[in-house]
Structure 1
Amino acid sequence: MSDTAVETKKSLVPKWEQLARDEVRASIRKFTKPLQDLVKRDANEGDTRLLVTDMLCYGLGYDKFDDLTTEYAVRGEFADYGVRIDKQLVAFIEVKRATQKLHARHLRQVETYAVKEGLEWIILTNGQVWQAYHVQAATGQKVATHLAFEVDLLSDETPTRKTEALFHLHRSAMKKGLIDALWRRKAATSAPAMAAILLSPPVLDAARKEIRRSSGYNPDLDELARIVRAEVLKAELFI
């Protein structure tokens, strides 16, 4: 992309968004070496938290005193960080030591905290890898927690791709609900959602008409649904 094209694209972006992206991009550059050092010496969780706090404040736009609460109390237990925007609690952050591989099992306790507080977002990080999880806890249904995105700040991905992902955790982006919009797009095109669409009556009817047009055979809709379930889609999509 030419410099002129880049400048044109930038001019179409709201000023607040460009400033936020610039902050994120600059912080990724700034903290790459400290992150590498933490990983090299297998830093403990406390040292990792110090770096995470700096990233939240200097790269993601949060105020250390107004927006962040460490050891956030939830009914006698504690989340590593509670994140507030305009005094409204919006997310919990769970921090692991720099070399700890992140896993969904690390979410279980903080997931409980999120449900108790009515939050939809959990951020899991070891400083290097940042994962954002969406929590859905509808009344009478099992809690559903899904990965919205993941970014590895020490990976070979381009700075632009890293910035694009981490930008969704910037205070300004969270306040504007961009991470919620990202999740809605991902959920709408997820494998289970697409499976449901393929098995919906209008789509099956359109498939039947196309089969009839191309072959002269007019299949039954229930038979088409059986074939799609058994031979086209993965069984785990229906669990």
Structure 2
Amino acid sequence: MAGIPSKVESRLIAGLKRFQPILEQAKARDVNEADTVTIVKDLLADLFGYDKYMEVTSEHAIRGTYCDLAIKLDGQVSFLIEVKAIGLDLKDQHVKQAVDYAAHLGVEWALLTNGVVWRVYRVVFAQPLQFDLVVEIRALELSPRNSDHLELLWLLAKEGWQKARIGEFHAQRQAVNRYTIAALIMSAPIVDSLRKELRRLHNGIKITNEQISEVLQAEVLKRETLDGEKATEARKTIVRVHKKLAAPKKSVEAEIVIPQTVVEEVSKEPPAG
């Protein structure tokens, strides 16, 4: 990802130093959800750079209920935030609540936080509704001197969000996720390469691609990376890419189309000389 602007980096460093003690004290006192929301709003403004009065909306109405916070940029909701009490562990039902809010509003991004832990989810508008955990940030474990930690905060900062850094980060994570890697390992070119290497290692021993695939599925790869919708989608993606790469490319000559009228005119011309 592109580097963080120096002005933003300074704000992130100062904000992290300021708010880590506040979060530690709030967690020690086990403050309630309302007080946690107050801290989160301050974090959004002073650490992440959103305008507390113009861009942070409290209790955003969604189909008769309310999401704790919404971030509006250029008049449009960019993401929703569901806040839980700082001492509460974030659980699956909390995730579903945040994602459902986003889905009802047609918003692609949902955040779930208790102030200390921040989880960002991308909503996939499919049937059934799906969602991906894009990143989890643990505020008390970050160091203002660690550039990688600041990069994580930059994902949620207003300036980073406007530059769609979270989308780039998600795309990068998707490219190297376990389903894609498992599907690649099971793909024909990789299995064929493994067969050739095994033959080299064992003096030309006869072994088939099917035998290698069986071992990979049964003993090497985790079942969860091979089954389910995400695994299926990863395999489909790899098949599409392989087909595209294998398709014969048109020659330059084949792409040059001479209109028939030109051919006819040329044929009528008397031979030179």
TM-score of the superposed pair, with normalisation by structure 2: 0.76
* 1:1-20 equivalence runs, <5 A: 17-20=5-8
Q: Give ranges in structure 1 of 5+ residues lacking alignment.
A: 1-12
* 1:114-133 equivalence runs, <5 A: 114-133=102-121
CA contact (8 A) 2:83 2:114 kept: yes
User: Equivalent residue for 2:169?
Assistant: 182
Which residue type is aligned with residue 76 of structure 1? G
Give deviations 1:129-161, integer Å, cap 9, x for gaps.
2121222223x3x33323222222223x43324
Segment drifting more, 49-58 vs 24-33: 24-33
User: Equivalent residue for 1:46?
Assistant: 34
CA contact (8 A) 1:168 1:178 kept: yes
Match of 1:111 among 93, 99, 108: 99
- Return the offset for 1:49: 0.7
C-alpha separation in 2, matches of 1:150 and 1:46: 22
Q: How many residues align?
A: 223
- Return the offset for 1:68: 1.7
Segment drifting more, 218-227 vs 168-177: 218-227
CA contact (8 A) 1:211 1:218 kept: no
- Return the offset for 1:163: 2.3
Relative distance call for 1:30 and 1:110 in structure 2 (3 A) is same
Segment drifting more, 142-151 vs 177-186: 142-151
* 1:50-89 equivalence runs, <5 A: 50-89=38-77
TM-score of the superposed pair, with normalisation by structure 1: 0.86
- Return the offset for 1:27: 0.8
Relative distance call for 1:205 and 1:70 in structure 2 (3 A) is same
Q: Give ranges in structure 2 of 5+ residues lacking alignment.
A: 228-273
User: Equivalent residue for 2:133?
Assistant: 147
- Return the offset for 1:211: 1.8
How large is the Cα RMSD of the aligned pairs?
1.8
* 1:215-226 equivalence runs, <5 A: 215=202, 216-226=204-214
Which residue type is aligned with residue 98 of structure 2? V
Using CA pairs below 8 Å that are at least 6 residues apart, which structure has the higher relative contact order? 1
Relative distance call for 1:220 and 1:44 in structure 2 (3 A) is same
C-alpha separation in 2, matches of 1:166 and 1:108: 24
- Return the offset for 1:71: 0.9
- Return the offset for 1:73: 1.2
